[in-house]
Amino acid sequence: MKQAVILAGGKGMRLRERLGDLPKPLVDLCGMPLLERQVLLLKRYGFTSVVVLVNYRAEAIEQFCASRGNWGLDVRCVDDGEPRGTAGAVLEILDTLAAQFLVVYGDTMLQVDLERFCSFHAQVPDTAASLFLHPNDHPHDSDLVDLNDAGDVLGFHPYPHPDGAWLPNLVNAALYWVRREALRPWRGVPGILDFGKDLFPAMVARGLRLRGYKSPEYIKDVGTPARIDKVSADFRSGRIERAGLDHEQMAVFLDRDGTLNREIGHLCHAEQLELLPGVEQAVRRLNHAEYRICVVTNQPVVARGECSIGELRRIHNKLETLLGRAGAYVDRIDYCPHHPDKGFPGEVSELKIACECRKPGTGMIDAAVRALNISRPRSWLVGDSSSDIWTARRAGLRSILVETGHAGLDHKYFAMPDYVAADLDAAVDFILDGHPRLLQALRPLAADIGAGALIFIGGHSRAGKSTVAAGLAEVLRESDHACHVVSTDRWLRSVAQRDAGVVGRHDMVALQELINRFARRTSTLTEVFPGYARGRREHIQGVETVDIGPRDTVIVEGVVALALAMAVPGALRLMVTVDEPERRLRLLREYTLRGEPAQAEAIYSSRMREEWPWIEASGAGAVRFEIPGRRPVEIAK
């Protein structure tokens, strides 16, 4: 038997204008009393017994339940008499309750996968109570809960919080699974006793095991007119239903160092953490757009003995506190403490291992996908390193490389991002606005592209060719095209081996031979592609092996792509264009990132003389395409 206790004894004084003389649990929420919505949720998840603790206007609640035939459940309304607090009311009827029961507050609207919550509670047999916890956008004035990595409750931080305290953004949402016998020592304790303020801290102090169930699902109280209006708007928009973990969730996975905060190399103290400009507003916009935000970070400083787990928790508490001050929050922070290389003074030997959680391993992402029912095809990974981009590819996520932190110039792995953005704020712009616009603009173009097509996308440097190529590939895959994007940048020569001009920088012979093979293929080709390390300006042989089937679509993109297309009559040719002042800023930014700010203007001028006429000529007759609504870049001062 699954049993729930609904605490429905409140008067609802702040809702009096909405309630009239009705008790608070019967407040209307989009055409149905709140109590009925709660009971129907319980019934949906297999609860057969519901105890409703009533007090004010108890007869009205009893009559309402009877009018609904108790929804076909065993519903008992029990008057809890003199107010004794949330826990005190439950303790009064303890002997009549099941061995395990769910506590629901009668003034909350919730959309929670109660089966998942039940399974979590049952994982550890000696759990006294499991608390439903979630982040919110105002942790500074909320009661917060501290957990260890195993999910055990370490302590409680009631509001108001001390100045300068770094606290986790985990709010007690007033939904609990409780083991009956764990409450028995408090039976008969006089006075007011509340679960959150009194009973749970006392249980932890006595050594009982409380666990925190972290979930981003929807649960909000409706205790004021403003709150019920907000919840009603969320209900009408479908936001409440979409928040349930029985629905697949969209997520943005975020790297930490160099993406959210400044990259300083082996950050190991909370005082060193400094958020990058615009991060708070970027995260807040993702919150409002219903993306789950999961931080995934390699933290080898733990294995190296440079940072304790406690200090790492303090670092992440600071991150959550700083975001919370701006009304932003993350849903999960997963970290890998391992490091495969040995020989560091003070290292932690048991953590010096190769593992699946250390990026580019996908262990942290896989765990979040399971926990939050995340849809990989609708999700993203944003990071500043080649490890992040390779992780995204292995995990089946779209990737955005941000040009903060390492800016992809670490060259630890050869991995080409789907998209590139100046920083996290620009990446969020693209996710929420630029990407949908791009795909919408490309869909009419893709409608006439058949299987096995060879497509060429060219244009000037930093015009957005790779963005268009990635977007077109996404659109084609929507129609079940197998699609490959091949960047001609892979065939850039090392600096010492170059000749003059745009053609002299590329291995045009190897590229033309490749295009000929693409055009003539009648069976699967196995190609070994080279790579190019931008930071070192170095050509690298044999970085990736790719199988290309005879009906696979191939998109070739790069500054020389349209010239290569001359050998394939009738191939689709796109020339990506952008306002020249904007392109100039992008090029200057590129060379500033590479550590050549003083030479950037001279490089731009020489490219205009040497390349502009050649690229324009190669694009003659091509379909012109400009990325819609792309955000202008700025050069960092």
Judged by DSSP in three states, 8 sits in strand
The dihedrals phi and psi of 78, each to the nearest 5 degrees, come to -120, 120
C-alpha 107/C-alpha 7 separation (Å) is 8
Question: Helices 580-593 & 597-610, crossing angle to 10 degrees?
Answer: 130
Dig out the tokens for 70 from the structure: 């108790």
Number of CB atoms found within 10 A of residue 37's CB:
17
Q: Is the dihedral angle over the CA atoms 157, 149, 211, 375 positive or is it negative?
A: positive
Q: Which of 490, 449, 148 is nearest to 308 (CA)?
A: 148
C-alpha 389/C-alpha 382 separation (Å) is 8
C-alpha 486/C-alpha 476 separation (Å) is 15
C-alpha 533/C-alpha 552 separation (Å) is 27
Question: Helices 465-478 & 435-446, crossing angle to 10 degrees?
Answer: 70
The dihedrals phi and psi of 202, each to the nearest 5 degrees, come to -65, -35
Dig out the tokens for 68 from the structure: 């609904």
**Cβ–Cβ under 8 Å, residues 96 and 50:** no
Question: What's the chain's length in residues?
Answer: 637
Among residues 80, 107, 198, 255, the one annotated as catalytic is 255
C-alpha 262/C-alpha 171 separation (Å) is 27
**Cβ–Cβ under 8 Å, residues 386 and 355:** no
**Cβ–Cβ under 8 Å, residues 316 and 273:** no
Neighbouring residues of 111: CB distance < 8 A, sequence distance ≥ 6: 41, 217, 218, 219, 240, 241, 243, 244
C-alpha 183/C-alpha 94 separation (Å) is 8
Judged by DSSP in three states, 156 sits in strand
Among residues 198, 257, 331, 489, the one annotated as catalytic is 257
Neighbouring residues of 88: CB distance < 8 A, sequence distance ≥ 6: 189, 191, 192, 193, 194
Question: Does an H or E element contain 274, and which?
Answer: none
C-alpha 360/C-alpha 377 separation (Å) is 18
Residue pointed to by tokens 């268009």: 468
Q: What is the gyration radius of the CA atoms in the chain, in angstroms? A: 29
Q: Which of 339, 252, 239 is nearest to 292 (CA)?
A: 252
Residue pointed to by tokens 């693209």: 430
Q: Where are the beta strands (DSSP E) in 517-622?
A: 525-533, 538-548, 553-557, 572-577
Provide the 8-state DSSP code for 296.
Answer: E
Catalytic annotation on 257? yes
Catalytic annotation on 547? no
Q: Where are the beta strands (DSSP E) in 475-524?
A: 483-487
Provide the 8-state DSSP code for 632.
Answer: P
Inter-residue long-range contacts of 337-344, CB under 8 Å, 24+ positions, other chains counted: 337/299, 337/300, 337/302, 337/303, 337/309, 337/312, 338/300, 338/303, 339/300, 339/303, 339/304, 344/304, 344/305
User: Catalytic residue numbers?
Assistant: 255, 257
